[in-house]
Every structure is written in structure tokens, then in C-alpha cells.
Amino acid sequence: MSLQSKHMLGLQHVSDEDIITILNTANAMKDIIKRKIKKVPTLRGRTVVTLFYENSTRTKTSFDLAGKYLSADTVGLSASSSSVQKGESLIDTARTVEAMGADVVVLRHPAAGSSKMLAENINCSVINAGDGVHEHPTQALLDMFTISEHKKDFKGLKVTIVGDILHSRVARSNIWGLTKLGAEVSVVGPATMLPPKMEKMGVKVYTNMEEALAGADVVNVLRIQLERQKQGLFPSLREYSRLYGINQERLALLKDDAIILHPGPMNRGVEIVSRVADSSQAVIEEQVTNGVAVRMALLYLLTGGEKVEDVN
Amino acid sequence: MKMLIKGGDVVNPEKMNVEQLDIKVESGVITAIGNNLPVEGAQVVEADGKLVCPGLIDMHVHLREPGYEHKETIATGTKAAAQGGFTAVACMPNTNPVADNASIIRHILERSEAEGVVKVYPIAAITKGSKGDELTEMADLKSAGAVALSDDGIPVASAAVMRRAMQYANMLNLPVIPHCEDKDLVGGGVMHEGFQSTVLGLPGIPAAAEEVMVARDIILAETTGCKLHIAHVSTAGSVELVRQAKRRGVNVTCEVTPHHFTLTDEEVTGYNTNTKVNPPLRSSADVLAIKEGLADGTIDVIATDHAPHSEEEKAVEYQYAPFGLVGLETAVGLVFTELVSKGILTAPEAIAKLSLNPARVLGIKAGKLMVGETADITIIDPGAKEVINPAHLAGKSKNTPFNGRELKGLPVMTLVNGKIVMRDRRVTG
Amino acid sequence: MDVAKEKAQILDENGIRRTLTRIAHEIIEKNKGVENVALVGIRRRGVPLAERLAQRIKEIEGTEVPVGTLDITLYRDDLTTLSQQPQVHQTKVNFPLGDKTIVLVDDVLFTGRTARAALDALIDLGRPKSIQFMVMVDRGHRELPIRADYVGKNLPTSKKEVVSVQLKDIDNEDKVVITELPD
């Protein structure tokens, strides 16, 4: 039942069977989070190190708790407090962490491909917690897990991802994962925020919000980074909101039982209005719980030993 | 010291033909070319079945000296050149300090005289410190030995500065070799903008970043009359712009690197930093257009843009790695494997783009095998095979994207001033 | 996987049915009724066994006893050595454990390690009044100080043998057989 790789670097090269295994395992893990005693002894004696070169309290905490609920020892290393400040290379930092006994390294890094580089240079398992704008597989898996709790099947499911697709690792990982399981994925955003030739990834590309939302089962609303305005990628938050904000009128374009996802943190009133964010169709808080469950599932599935299982 | 190169297929890039002839070399000069020349006590080099070519010239090389001797030096860079079959290189001015005054040009020439294995022709900066503001003392630079002007690596952003530079250079009959890149359009780009950059999540460099500058510089050359040689074209659009300009009679030439006619942006998958180069590896459509440009003569020159970087500098995240790869040692093999074997260029056409054409662009007396000329000669064995192994590269840095690739058609001897500096792939000079 | 050779059949369908009926009586007798008794089957074959026991108890006493499902994967003590992480399933115990006597139900008692894991898993769900243990077959070779309160059949075996309890719900047939692993 282990995965095909001991690393989780991205969903592009993960099989659909592996994705399903992770989602099924996450289902069992979620029960543990809901118990009074939120701990199982599974990863007793294992060490998980979170190595974060970008600030993300949310993702880091989620991995920390996932490890702790499975009884792993978790240690966090952030770029600002470590030898990274002294100019040590990523590989050297990771090798140091490994030499101290880490079994799993969770890496968040601003450079695309950094987790792959790490996996090629150290022996322990590497989980990509976001590398540049390349991939953020655990976010996509938690999005998919959340969708699976509300929708029967991914086959034919219409999922629309809205926003700054160009700079979104979440969008890329979601596209790989969702299309593998047969969902019909569309992306929509201003032309300046759509990467070239994205349709070759198997998605429909829109600049018109109304067309992209029509009949959707799931809408995944991306956070708009306010600094993109200064970079000249869009003229103003006001215009962005007017063209691509999710509001109640646009909600009406979706299927009646459509759900709204957002990876957080939200800019209320910009990409999503509060009345939508707080509506019964929004599953944003569930995503947070599911993030811990999915990360527990991954930590469990990636930390196997060497022996083949005995009979009886 | 006499030498007789016997029975080789002598390539004439001017007449575009190949003829089996003997060549006699005495005291560093070609003294006879003909059939069945008498040995008369000369050292005989059997060249049967091999191409005997005018010494190859790589007009776009970074020797890194002064300032970046941990990447390459004049000594190691010219060794790489000799191994690659080049008898001369032109070196780019983005050293530290920048080659923007006569004393640095003289320094490079003196160091080359002392330690160089092959000939070195320095190219000077267009602006002081390559800052893009004030023009360099071009007349003084020319007197000191600079053969051209370039902003390689640090493009002149201002069209006004570039226009004045061309006016001034034209007065001195110095070619201008622009590195065509609009830095604003590049942004933080590290690879070709296309499907691969979308998938890899690496910031893209659009083809337009190169093409708008190619267009600008062609227009400026057209109006100033300056001799323009566009460095390392990499896109279909650039090739087409040059083609049209040539049709209009603009005094423009251009070059392409072996990696740009061999590799596409798909090589970047896997984030191998030795595929990070500027201009970036482009799409397969661009590679196709470049091959057409080579075949129809739009692209005049093949130059390597040999850009050494140390192992430590390249062993970092893709986005943080420096641009550049080494090319001197592998260029001829790639030309024969990718272009000559595949029928895109004939051997004389390929040799012209590696010898006579760069000599003409730079205005140096080279590129022809004639009695009375200096004996700078490259012998190529079109049947010789080799698998590229970075450890066997003669230069100081090993940042090649071609590790493990098999080449067929390799330089087996390099003669500079009649002296053997490379024999059987080993540098002897 | 090597195909194990079937050596002997220990129980057939009727044998299993009679055994479960006897054990149902024993549970009722030992607990003086089933008022505060609940059954928890250990995945996988403990689950249908627990359900059948509950059915028998209902037939005898007229009382429905709650039945839960326990997945002990996350409590195994050999996870750090296995190359293939076993699949995790959901645990479903939808009743409070606090005042109950829990009868853990499993198919085969061998080393005792599964039972140990099940005890830990159960206690993390709550604090039962007491825990009892029922197995269909006790084949010996204990590695931990664990014994069953209710045993369908004591079956001395060699370590090379495999005892397989097969149930219609999973295996299309009710029987208990001994097979031998090839050398």
C-alpha cells in the first residue's frame, strides 16, 4: 500500500492509484483528528523536520500537527533562524538535518525544483510543501480530499480554478491531480496572469469569468497577492474584484450544489466576498482540517521500513 | 621545422569545395599546396580520409580573465579551444574589471601571448563599465587590439546610446556585436517562456525579449550603416528579422550556438542547471527555424558562447544558478553530428561558418588555406566518435549540458602557427 | 505470492455456526446478560464474526448489542520494519465505551501482537469498564502475555503452518483450514 516513490515532490508524476490511496488513508486519519485522544503511536521514534524558506504558519502548523498526531517528533527550521542566513546552501542545510536523524524533510522554498534537488541529494523522504510556482502537492491533495467528501466521483466533475494562475503552484498541482482522476478542469484569470500554453496541461483556459463558472461543481478561488498590482499585472483590486471576484451573482452561475474552496488566507472583498466565504457552500474551514489529515496520510505512507509483510 | 599534411581532404570555405591535396608547412607558414608534394625530410601527418580545414575561429567566448579565474583563465580557456579544434577565439569583455579601456585589452593580449595555447582576439565593451551610459574610447581600444565591440551579458538598454555607439563604431570600422535582450521583458525569467516553463513553474523569458532588441538594432544599423553582428540568435523571429534585413541590404550578420541548434527547452525538465543559459534553450519550432537559417545562409557564424562557471556556482537551485554553459570542446562534434551528418550543412558550409565567416566579421586575416598564410589548421576526422564526458573537457569548468551524448565527427589535430597544439583530442601546446 | 497448500479442514460451515452459538451463550453467561456488553470486531475477519455473534445473542436474549469495527493498523509494532505500509481503514465505534464491557473479536490468536495493538487502539477511544477477548482459533505460539476469554477452537500448529478462517462475507465460504507455507 506504500506509494511508488518515497518522496512527494508533486502530483505531475504521481499515479492515480497513489492519489486514491492517499485520499483513502486521509479518510481514516481524519477520524483520529476528531477523537478526544488525537494521537496514535504509528510514527513513534520517527523525526519530521519542517524546513521553511518562506513564511507559512498555516502549512507549517498543519505538518507539525500531522506529525504529532502520529507520534512523530517534529522540529521546525525556518530560514530566518538558521544557518541559511549565513549563506549555507540548501543541500548542506538538508544534509545537516539528515545527519541529526531526520526521517522526513518537509520543504517550503521559493525556488521551483528545490524539493527535487533535495530528494536527489539526501536519503530521507522529502515532502514538497511548495517550491516556487511549481507544485504544492499537499494543498492539492487536501483540496481533492475535500472535494471527495462532497462529490461522489471525480469523473466529469467540473472544477474551475480562479485567479493568478501564472504564479500558482496550487493551481498546477490541482490540475495534475484532478485531471488524472477524470475531472474537467478550467482556469480563469486576467490574461496577464495566465501562463503560456496551459491548455496543453489538459485544461480549458478562460479570461471571461461568467463562461468559466457556468455549470461548475467546484470553484477553487486563489488568493490574489497584492504586490502583483505594483508589478503591473492588474490595474487595481477594484477592477480585479469586478472581473474575477466571487460574489453572490456569480454563485448563481454554478450548479446548485457547487462548493467553494480557497487555500487561504482570504482577501475578503477582493477575490471572494464575505457572504460567499461564510455561506454553506464554502468548505474553507473543512480544507484546513483535511490538510492535517492528508499530511498525516502522507507521513504514514512515505515512512515504510524494508521488510516484506509476514502472513498471519 | 617542416611538416607535410598528406592526402587530406582540404576544405576551401571560399570556393565551398573539398579537394584531396597535400599541404606543406615551414616555419609556421604554408609554403606549398598541391598533389604528391615531396616529403624532403618533413614530419608527415597522414590525413587520408580527414578534413583539413582553415583554423577554426570561435568568435564568442568568455575566458573570464581578469576577475573570474575560478571559472576559467586565458590558459585553460585556450586549452579548451585547442581541444575543440579552434586556432583562435574572440573573448567577450564582461570580465572584472570590464574590458573597456586599452590597458585591459593589452593585458589580455599579453597574457594570451604568454600563456595562450591558441590566438586570442579581444572584444571591447561598448560603454564604460558596460553600464550603458558613456561610450568607451573605441579608437584607443582598436589601436590596442580590440577587434569588435559588444555588450554581451549586459545589454545596452538605451536605444539612444546604442545609436551613438553604432555611429561612432562605424566611423572606426569596428563591428558591433549586440547581446539582444530587453531586460524588462526578461523580468526574472530563467528559461524559455512556453509550455515547459508553465509546467516547471520557472519564470519564462519570452522570445519577444530577444526579438524586439534584434529589430531595434537592425533598424539602428540600417540608419547608421554600422557593421552589425547579432550574437547568439535563438528564436525563429530573430532569424526571420535578420533574413529580411539581409534582403534589404542591411550590413548585418549573425551567429548561433551549438546548444541552440541542438537542444530545446525540454532539456530543462529535471532542473539541471547546466541547461540554464542566456538566451535560453528554445522550443523545437525555434530549433527548426535556426536550422533553416543555417542552411539558407541567414546565419553566418557558429560560435559557442563558451561560458564557464564553477561546480559550486551551478550546484544551487535552478533560479539561483548563473546563466551559461561551456561549448568550446564540444562544438565541432555537435556541428558534424547535428548539421553535417543530417544534411543541413555540407562540410565546407559548416567550416565556413566556423572559420572564414567569423574572420570576415571580425576583420581578421584568417579563414583560408593559402600559400604564404600562417599555418593555422584544424584537422577533423568525420568518422571519429566520442561520448562526452565532462571530466575529459580541457577547460577549467565542466558545465556542459551534453554529458553522455555521442558525437561523430571530431577535431583530431589543431595547428597554431604550424605548431601542433592538439593531437588525438589531447592538448599538447 | 507462493500458493500455500491446504493441509486439513478444521471446521466447516456448520462447525463455525455451532461454535459461534456456543460462544454467544458463554458471553451471555459470563456477563450475566448483555445489558452493558458491546462487540468490537478487529479488521478484517473479526468484523463479520462480531456481527454474527451479535445476531446469535439477539436470537438468544432478544437484545441488540452494539457492534463496532476496529482498524489496528496504526497501532502495529512492526510498521518501522515493513517496506509496504499496510492500508489504513476507518475505525467505526459509534457508541461510548465508558460504562461498557467490550468483547474484542478476532479470527486467529497467534503471537498476541494484534490483540496488544487492539487493546491500545480501543483505550485511545475511551475507557471501557472491562475488555474481554474472543477468537475463533487459538493456534498457540504467543509472544506476549495475552490469552482469550472465549476460544472457538484450540489448535496446536507448527510455525510453518498458516491457519485461515474463511467467512462467506469475505471469502465466499465458511471454513477453517490449515495450510502449509512452501519452504
Q: In chain C, where are the structural domains located?
A: 5-78+86-180
Tell me if A134 and B318 make a contact (CB, 8 A cut-off). Answer: no
Comparing CB atoms, the residue among A35, A300, A306 nearest residue C125 is A35
Within chain C, residue ranges assigned H as helices are: 13-30, 46-61, 113-125, 168-171
Which chain B residue lies closest to A119 (C-alpha atoms)? Answer: B270
Mean per-residue pLDDT over chain A, rounded: 93
Question: Mean per-residue pLDDT for A143-167?
Answer: 97
Q: List chain A residues with CB under 8 Å of C85.
A: 1-2, 300-301, 303-304
Q: What is the DSSP letter of C119?
A: H
Q: Using CB atoms, pick whichever of A1, A29, A312 lies closest to residue C86.
A: A1
pLDDT at A1: 52
* A42 and chain C in contact, CB less than 8 A: yes
For an interface test with A, the pick among B186, B193, B200 (most A C-beta atoms closer than 10 Å) comes out as: B200
B356 or A95: which leads in pLDDT: B356
Partner chains of B (3+ C-beta pairs under 8 Å): A
Whether omega before B93 lies within 30 degrees of 0, making that bond cis, reads no
Mean pLDDT of chain B: 97
User: How confident is the model at residue C25, as a pLDDT?
Assistant: 97
Q: What is the CATH number of domain B56-362?
A: 3.20.20.140
Of chain B, the percentage scoring pLDDT greater than 90 comes to 99
Whether residue C140 lies within 8 A of chain A, CB to CB, comes out as: no
Between CA B237 and CA B303 the distance in angstroms is 19
Cell 507520534 locates to A71
User: Does C71 lie at the interface with A, CB-CB under 8 angstroms?
Assistant: yes
| Reported ipTM | 0.93
Show which residues of B are catalytic: 305
Residues 6+ away with beta carbon under 8 Å from A81? none
pLDDT (tens, 9 = 90+) of chain C, 183 residues, equals 455 678 899 999 999 999 999 999 999 999 999 999 999 999 999 999 999 999 999 999 999 999 999 999 999 988 777 777 888 999 999 999 999 999 999 999 999 999 999 999 999 999 999 999 999 999 999 999 999 999 999 999 998 899 999 999 999 999 999 998 776
| pLDDT tens sequence across B385-403 | 999 999 999 999 999 999 9
Q: Is CATH 3.40.50.2020 the classification given to domain C5-78+86-180?
A: yes
Residue of A nearest to C1 (CA): A311
Residue A209 pLDDT: 98
At residue A295, what is the residue type? Answer: R
CATH number assigned to the domain covering B2-51+374-427: 2.30.40.10
| CA distances (Å), origin B218, targets A262, B252, B273, B278, C183 | 49, 7, 32, 20, 81
Q: Measured between alpha carbons, how far is residue B275 from residues A196, B281, B337 in Å?
A: 21, 7, 19
pLDDT, tens only, B238-280: 999 999 999 999 999 999 999 999 999 999 999 999 999 999 9
The CA-atom distances, in angstroms, between B9 and each of A116, B3, B20, B44, C66 are 50, 17, 4, 15, 95
Is-cis flag, bond preceding B322, omega within 30?
no
Cβ atoms of residues C71 and C43 within 8 Å:
yes
Query: Is pLDDT of A311 > 50?
Result: no
The CA distance from A299 to the nearest CA of chain C, in Å, is 11
Can you tell me the distance from the alpha carbon of C54 to that of C32, in angstroms, rounded to the nearest whole number?
16
Task: Look at residue B43 and give its three-state secondary structure.
Answer: strand
A138 CA to centre of own chain? 4
Residues of B in contact with A192 (CB under 8 A): none
Asked whether the predicted pLDDT for residue A307 surpasses 60, the reply is: no
Decide which of A305 and A203 is more confident. A203
Residue of chain C nearest A45, judged by CA positions: C80
Rounded Cα–Cα distance for residues A80 and B335 (Å): 48
**Predicted confidence (pLDDT) per residue in A270-279, tens digit:** 999 999 999 9
Q: Residues B4-28: pLDDT tens digits?
A: 999 999 999 999 999 999 999 999 9
Distance CA B207, CA B233 (A): 10
Residues of chain B with CATH 3.20.20.140: 56-362
The alpha carbon of residue A70 is apart from the nearest alpha carbon of chain C, in Å, by 8
Mean pLDDT value of segment B111-133 = 97
Asked if A114 and A105 count as a contact pair (C-beta separation under 8 A), the reply is no
| Chain segment B33-48, per-residue pLDDT in tens | 999 999 999 999 999 9
Contact C80 A305 (CB under 8 A): yes
CB contact under 8 Å between C82 and A304, yes or no, is yes
Residue C150: what residue type? Y
**Residues of A in Cβ contact (< 8 Å) with B202:** 112-113, 132, 134
- Read off the pLDDT band of A87 (50, 70, 90): confident
CA gap A42, A211 in Å, rounded: 47
Say whether pLDDT at A293 is over 60: yes
Q: Which residues of C touch A2 (CB under 8 A)?
A: 83-85
pLDDT tens track for A225-243: 888 888 889 999 999 999 9
pLDDT (0 to 100) of residue B369: 97
Alpha-carbon span A16 to A263, nearest angstrom: 22
- The neighbours of chain A, by the rule of 3 or more Cβ pairs under 8 Å, are B, C
Are the beta carbons of A309 and C84 separated by less than 8 Å? yes
pLDDT of the residue at C183: 65
Please compute the mean of the pLDDT values over residues B77-90 and round it to a whole number: 98
Identify the pLDDT of residue C180.
84
